[in-house]
Structure 1
Amino acid sequence: MPGRLFIDAPLADAAREAGVPAPPAAEPRLDISPGEPLWTLTVDGFREMRWGLIPSGRTNARGRPVLETLINARSETVFDKSAFAGLKRAVVPINGWYEWTGPPRRKTRWALRDRDGGWLWCAAVWDEWQAPGGTRVAQLATLTCAPNAEVAPIHDRMGVMLSAEAIRTWLRGDEPEARALCTPLPDGRVAVSETPAPDTARG
């Protein structure tokens, strides 16, 4: 499932594909980590959000707030769990993501992208978290589903990747319509290639 992302094309191209105004100019980012900002498309257009969501109202057995950050949320349960109640939907345009396989210290990093070089639109949920001191932070979690044939040998989950035609439905459709989009990319859509370790390819 996506734990590191990359964007190696102008976001203006993604905006044109989605038929929306482009966000401010942004440099390619070849190794995006959780906790970093992402340009995210909502019903109101692009805005920057932190990748990592602290669900509102989560408490532990003692009734204290749980501040655990969720990077990914399972699409099978995100519409049903109370921790995600009231969240809004968004999409994150990327060119691909990374996965690792192998033993510690000898892991192989794989880059996964659209086989035709197109944009991948990650389904996400978001809200604004009120941090201590009153600061409000726009935050998101990307959604995951079962893997397709190319991803399965590397990981047992993959991101929910939407087509450009499905963006409007994901952002504005009703819940049954949104649930129906939470499926893996069709087999044959993902190209997988070995890529250098993060310390030599981080952007």
Structure 2
Amino acid sequence: MKIKSWSNYLPGRLAIFDDKSFKNDVKELISNDMIRIINKKYNIPPTLPIPTLLNNGNYLYAHFGYLPSWAKDKKSMNINARSESIFEKVTFRESYKYRRCIIPINGFFEWEIEDKEKTPYFVKDKEQDYLAIAGIWDEYFDNELNMNIVTVALITCDANEKLGKIHHRMPIVLEKKDFKIWLYSESLKETNSLFKVYPSEKLELYKVTQDVNKVLFDEKSCIERVEKIKKGQQTLF
């Protein structure tokens, strides 16, 4: 499948290498842990599996890239949905009503573009080791695999002041006290109220290696801080 440059989206790369704290915080919400021991991933691009807690109690690996059940092919895949219009779009509306999920990540990557050069940053929570991202899901029949797969999209909003310096959008981050509301509430007014911009003071972002640009590069060094980026370093985008 030919896809656009994922650098145009946010977040287009994720990291999830430790879900212990998240699983402890949602243990009463998980009825079927299909992941058990997480597969550490430091640079997840769209189409790869990401851990997801569905509102039916299943904690499983889902396809990073949302496809509604009625999609004819994967060309209509979306990796995120805008919070401002999710309840209006035909593609997302039903899933927003009935199939919401939480996607735990340890952080995500975004790129600062200056003078045609792209500098990657890692974005994480300052106070805890994961971000609980609001998402939607659906089941899609994958002809290549000859089976149904769970597909997910992250929900985004306007970026906070800190992240807004490098990108205008950011994911919706849920507070622990709102997990049950997001997963189970039948009131769209109540779930809409969770579409808040995560405060700048709760986020940390720092420069990381240009190796993040390589889709197949998946090492711990992806999330390690670097002080300087060499000018003229090539990226894949």
Same fold? TM cut 0.5:
yes
In the alignment, the residues of structure 1 paired with residue 20 and residue 200 of structure 2 have an alpha-carbon distance, to the nearest angstrom, of 28
What is the correspondence of 1:119-158 to structure 2 with a 5 Å cutoff? 119-132=130-143, 135-158=147-170
Q: Residue type matched to 1:7 in 2?
A: I
- The alpha carbon displacement at 1:115 in A equals 1.3
- The alpha carbon displacement at 1:49 in A equals 0.7
Q: Residue type matched to 1:119 in 2?
A: Y
- The alpha carbon displacement at 1:201 in A equals 6.2
Contact 2:62–2:150 (CA<8 Å) still a contact in 1? yes
- The alpha carbon displacement at 1:175 in A equals 1.2
Contact 2:70–2:140 (CA<8 Å) still a contact in 1? no
Extract unaligned runs of 5+ from structure 1: 59-63
What is the correspondence of 1:110-121 to structure 2 with a 5 Å cutoff? 110-121=121-132
- The alpha carbon displacement at 1:105 in A equals 7.4
Change (3 A) 1:86 1:116: same
Contact 1:95–1:118 (CA<8 Å) still a contact in 2? yes
Residue number among 136, 150, 160 corresponding to 2:172 in the alignment: 160
Higher mean alpha-carbon deviation, 180-189 vs 136-145, is at: 180-189
- The alpha carbon displacement at 1:85 in A equals 3.1
Partner of 2:92: 84
What CA deviation, in whole Å up to 9, does each residue of 1:66-87 have, x standing for no partner? 7321001101111111122321
SS where residue 137 of structure 2 aligns? strand
Q: Tell me the number of residue pairs that the alignment of Structure 1 and Structure 2 aligns.
A: 197
Extract unaligned runs of 5+ from structure 2: 1-9, 220-237
1:15 partnered with 2:28: no
Partner of 2:13: 4
In the alignment, the residues of structure 2 paired with residue 19 and residue 168 of structure 1 have an alpha-carbon distance, to the nearest angstrom, of 12
What CA deviation, in whole Å up to 9, does each residue of 1:47-78 have, x standing for no partner? 211010123446xxxxx777321001101111
Higher mean alpha-carbon deviation, 133-142 vs 158-167, is at: 133-142
Q: Residue type matched to 1:176 in 2?
A: K
Contact 1:7–1:96 (CA<8 Å) still a contact in 2? yes
- The alpha carbon displacement at 1:27 in A equals 3.1
1:106 partnered with 2:122: no
Higher mean alpha-carbon deviation, 17-26 vs 115-124, is at: 17-26
In the alignment, the residues of structure 1 paired with residue 168 and residue 148 of structure 2 have an alpha-carbon distance, to the nearest angstrom, of 34
Partner of 2:218: 202
Change (3 A) 1:65 1:195: closer
Q: Choose between structure 1 and 2: higher helix proportion.
A: 2
Q: CA RMSD in A?
A: 2.2
Q: Residue type matched to 1:184 in 2?
A: V
In the alignment, the residues of structure 2 paired with residue 65 and residue 195 of structure 1 have an alpha-carbon distance, to the nearest angstrom, of 35
Residue number among 10, 18, 32 corresponding to 2:44 in the alignment: 32
In the alignment, the residues of structure 2 paired with residue 195 and residue 56 of structure 1 have an alpha-carbon distance, to the nearest angstrom, of 37
SS where residue 85 of structure 1 aligns? helix
TM-score, normalized by length of structure 1? Answer: 0.88
SS where residue 184 of structure 1 aligns? coil
